[in-house]
């Protein structure tokens, strides 16, 4: 049996992607270590350093959300048109909260399922619908 690839990536491209992901993980670990070292410094001496650290933390949080959104868009790509992604649509009913996923481009949709805490994806407003 052959390998099935989600996109039209060659083996060389997949190797490059894996290498870049590994390098990214190493860089994130290094950044985490450096932030911990910076947090141990007496911040009162460096008043502007505290502002810089808070600004950087906010940027990192926004970057992480952006990366997670991109990953979810890739995970929930529409199988009907392959141009857009499936969005989570919440449907409140008398017997509980349900959800379905629907593509905004071609209106391909999944069947209605009961909503649980494990459901993750992107809502109709473009924000994360995340498992708690």
> Is 84 within 8 Å of 106 (Cβ atoms)?
yes
> What is the full per-residue pLDDT of the chain (132 aa) written as tens digits?
455 555 566 777 888 888 888 899 989 989 988 888 877 776 666 677 778 888 888 888 888 888 888 888 888 888 888 888 889 989 999 999 999 999 888 888 889 999 988 888 888 887 777 654
In angstroms, rounded to a whole number, what is the distance separating the alpha carbons of residues 129 and 119?
7
* pLDDT on residue 68: 84
> Is 69 within 8 Å of 84 (Cβ atoms)?
no
Domain count, the chain: 2
CA dihedral 24, 28, 34, 36 (to 10 degrees): -170
* pLDDT on residue 2: 55
* pLDDT on residue 6: 56
* pLDDT on residue 44: 63
**1 falls within a domain:** no
* pLDDT on residue 3: 57
Burial class of residue 4, CB neighbours in 10 A (0-12, 13-18, 19+)? exposed
* pLDDT on residue 9: 67
Structural domain span for residue 104: 86-129
**5 falls within a domain:** no
**27 falls within a domain:** yes
Please tell me whether residues 61 and 93 are part of one structural domain: no
DSSP 74-96: HHTB-TTTSSSBEEEEEEEETTE
**2 falls within a domain:** no
């Amino acid at each position: 049996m052959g390998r099935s690839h989600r996109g039209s990536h060659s083996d060389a491209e997949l190797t490059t992607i894996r290498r870049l992901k590994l390098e990214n993980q190493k860089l994130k670990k290094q950044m985490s270590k450096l932030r911990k070292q910076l947090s141990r410094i007496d911040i009162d001496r460096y008043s502007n350093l505290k502002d810089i650290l808070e600004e950087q933390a906010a940027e990192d949080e926004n970057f992480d959300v952006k990366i997670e959104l991109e990953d979810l868009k890739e995970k929930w790509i529409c199988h009907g048109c392959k141009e857009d992604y499936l969005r989570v649509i919440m449907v409140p009913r008398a017997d509980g909260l349900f959800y379905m996923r629907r593509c905004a481009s071609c209106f391909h949709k999944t069947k209605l399922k009961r909503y649980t805490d494990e459901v993750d994806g992107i809502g109709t407003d473009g924000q994360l619908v995340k498992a708690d």
